[in-house]
Amino acid sequence: MQVGYIVKEGFSGFRRAKLSMTAAIVTITISLLLLSSFAILLLNANSVVTALRDKVEMEAFLADSLTNAEVDVIRARIHAVLGVRDVMFISKDEAAKIFQEQFGEDIYRVLDFNPLPASFKIFLQDGYKTADAAQEIHAQVTAIRGVEEVIYRKGLLELLDKRVTTALAFALGIGLFITISSIFLVANTIRLAIYAKRKIIQTMKLIGATRGFIRTPFVLEGLVQGFLGGVFASGIVFSLFHYLEQWADPLSDFLTVEPVAYGVIVVLGCLLGFLGSVISIRRFIGETVVQ
């Protein structure tokens, strides 16, 4: 197999069939724009949900009559609960300081005594920041002797679990539909470029060229088209999200793009071009046999 000929033929379409080559590159670019924009928004939305889950923490309020030794025992028992990452003790005096920072009032000026109880702030492990897991931890901590009440943002976790599961299933369905549609759209566009060379393909078959020898230039051509489409798409995505991030500052958490994403877009472009070429060649070469 002559490498020089294959490379030459792989790039010949950019001279012989400029319109079909341009159409293929534009199709790949648009497909990648849809895929990458959807994926970036989905990943950023997931990051926001994770940040909301990270803010969920429990607080266990203690009885006033506990001794220091009993407090230490409670700390150890809470720490031993499955799913608890860390425990931080807040004394009555520290609770009064927090009250003053949040409300701007000194509790001792309002009352002659400090009614705020000592408590433990409970931080959960990453895999346990769900409604069901948090409820189980809540029940175990509440059952510990000396703990009077345990509070946490139960409603937020239930809302996140319910909405995120539904949204994820919907998003995966849309993503799968866009991916499959993109592959076949690119394949049909590349097929037009291959059709422009149908006489050359028939001639090569007549002189005994192997299928691999015929296919390879088109695969190379598809890879180049995919690469160029990926470069154009990554440039547009960079410009678009950079502009939106500056223009829509409140939504900046949804518009962050990691630098590695642009490389992934180019790789996906090459993959789209490759798959489109392979599908088109397999269908078209089979059809040219009977023409």
Cβ neighbours of residue 201 under 8 Å, at least 6 residues apart? 194, 214, 284, 285, 288
Residue 28 pLDDT > 80, yes or no? yes
One-letter amino acid at 189 equals T
- Of residues 251 and 236, more confidence is placed in 236
Q: Which domains does the chain have, with CATH numbers?
A: 3-52+160-288 (no CATH), 59-151 (3.30.70.3040)
pLDDT of residue 256: 73
Considering Cα of 137, then 139, then 144, then 150, what sign does the dihedral take? positive
Q: How far apart are CA 134 and CA 88, in angstroms?
A: 17
Q: By mean pLDDT, which of 47-51, 149-153, 209-213, 273-277 is the weakest?
A: 209-213
pLDDT of residue 252: 61
Residue 286 pLDDT > 70, yes or no? no
pLDDT of residue 78: 92
Mean pLDDT of the chain: 79
Cα distances from 30 to residues 23, 36, 190, 232, 234, in angstroms, run 11, 10, 14, 9, 11
- Of residues 139 and 190, more confidence is placed in 139
- Of residues 62 and 37, more confidence is placed in 62
pLDDT of residue 288: 46
The residue whose two tokens read 């159409």 is 23
> pLDDT of 197-218, one tens digit each?
677 777 777 777 677 777 777 7
Contact between 273 and 225 (Cβ < 8 Å): yes
3-state secondary structure of 207: coil
Q: How are beta strands 58-62 and 147-151 bridged, if at all?
A: antiparallel
Contact between 272 and 186 (Cβ < 8 Å): yes
Cβ neighbours of residue 5 under 8 Å, at least 6 residues apart? 217
Residue 167 pLDDT > 80, yes or no? no
Closest CA to 236 of 1, 14, 41, 32: 32
CA angle 268, 236, 254 (to 5 degrees): 85
pLDDT of residue 291: 38
Q: Which two tokens stand for residue 90?
A: 């807040």
Considering Cα of 184, then 190, then 195, then 199, what sign does the dihedral take? negative
> What is the mean pLDDT of the segment spanning 127-150?
90
> What is the mean pLDDT of the segment spanning 174-178?
79
Q: How far apart are CA 79 and CA 198, in angstroms?
A: 72
Which DSSP category does 58 fall into?
E
Other residues' Cβ atoms within 10 Å of the Cβ of residue 171? 17
Residue 73 pLDDT > 60, yes or no? yes
Contact between 121 and 85 (Cβ < 8 Å): no
pTM listed for this prediction: 0.62
Residue 250 pLDDT > 70, yes or no? no
pLDDT of residue 137: 92
Residue 269 pLDDT > 60, yes or no? yes
> What is the mean pLDDT of the segment spanning 91-101?
80
Highest mean pLDDT among 39-53, 140-154, 205-219: 140-154
Please return the burial class of 229, using the count of CB atoms within 10 Å of its CB with bins 0-12, 13-18 and 19+.
buried
DSSP labels, 69-87: HHHHHHHHHHHTSTTEEEE
CA angle 118, 124, 128 (to 5 degrees): 140
Q: By mean pLDDT, which of 25-29, 44-48, 224-228, 233-237 is the weakest?
A: 44-48
The residue whose two tokens read 């009614």 is 115
pLDDT band at 130 (very low <50, low <70, confident <90, very high): confident
> What is the mean pLDDT of the segment spanning 270-276?
84
| Alpha helices per DSSP H over 2-55 | 3-16, 18-54
